[in-house]
Amino acid sequence: MEIHFRTANQLKAFRQSAGTFFLIFLIQLEFVVGLAVLLFCNLRPREWIGVAFRHWFLWFPAAAACLGFVSVMVEGRYVASFLVILWLAAFASSLSSATIISSRIAVAVVLAVSFVTGVKILKAAVTDVLAVHKQANESWEVAQNLKALGVRPGDRVALIGVLAEQDWLRLANVKAVAELRYRDERKFWTGDANLQDSVFTAFATTGSKIVVAAHAPITAVKEGWTRLGSTEFYARSLLAKPAAHVFAARKAP
């Protein structure tokens, strides 16, 4: 691979990273407000800045790591640990300043920020627990229905509109060996029987026993497809004797 630097693309990456950081700060708004209150209550902002510089060993490595991600791509899970260190360093510098208007105000701000964060974490935990109880295990359902169709561990399968990183592949202990290219998926579903048969034939040449599709049209059941339980996945058996014609099938490594 030959790497080329393009200024326009790099600027787009910076813009996207800045937007992601903005969304992260909106989620952590209580920290922004709490720090702003502490800075407002500081009688000598220059002294706070001096304390912050003396704490450079806390925030500089974390800030450098965040800047490194900014040039490529930022996601919350990438910078989460570094943001924790940055917030701790910022609050430590504010609370270490001797010119804070009142220690009671500082304690009240920290407790308020901690309380809001705790409520948000508790709410998210309860929501996740309730979602787990209500949510069906789609991957398990797909794997069990494939077994009911005669798919056995070690069998090869082909994919249409399905990401290879699917848990049901592991649960069914099957191997995805071919897939229809994404740009050809719409052409496949809107094509005639001859075109679709050519795709099935191409899949069969890879040794695939069955083809699994995601988000197939409603009419797919009438065309030999079987819906896998209550999921959005459909499966269809492939021809036992493949022909030589190949259309838009790509072997997986």
Q: pLDDT 10s per residue in the chain (253 long)?
A: 788 888 999 999 999 999 999 999 999 999 999 988 888 887 676 777 788 888 899 899 999 999 999 999 999 999 999 999 999 998 888 887 656 567 788 888 889 999 999 999 999 999 888 877 666 788 899 999 999 998 999 999 999 987 656 889 999 999 999 988 777 888 888 888 888 889 999 999 999 999 999 878 878 888 889 999 888 899 999 854 444 343 344 444 4
**Please, which residues bridge with residue 235 across strands?**
212, 226
1: in domain? no
42 and 72 part of one domain: yes
The pLDDT of residue 100 is 57
Shortest CA distance to 174 belongs to which of 199, 139, 205, 202? 139
CA dihedral (6, 9, 15, 18) positive or negative = negative
107: in domain? yes
50 and 117 part of one domain: yes
Structure tokens that stand for 157 in this block = 């399968």
17 lies in which domain range? 7-134
219: in domain? yes
79 and 21 part of one domain: yes
79 and 191 part of one domain: no
11 and 130 part of one domain: yes
79: in domain? yes
39 and 117 part of one domain: yes
Last residue of a domain, one of 134, 151, 174: 134
237: in domain? yes
Q: What is the pTM of this model?
A: 0.55
Last residue of a domain, one of 79, 111, 134: 134
222 and 164 part of one domain: yes
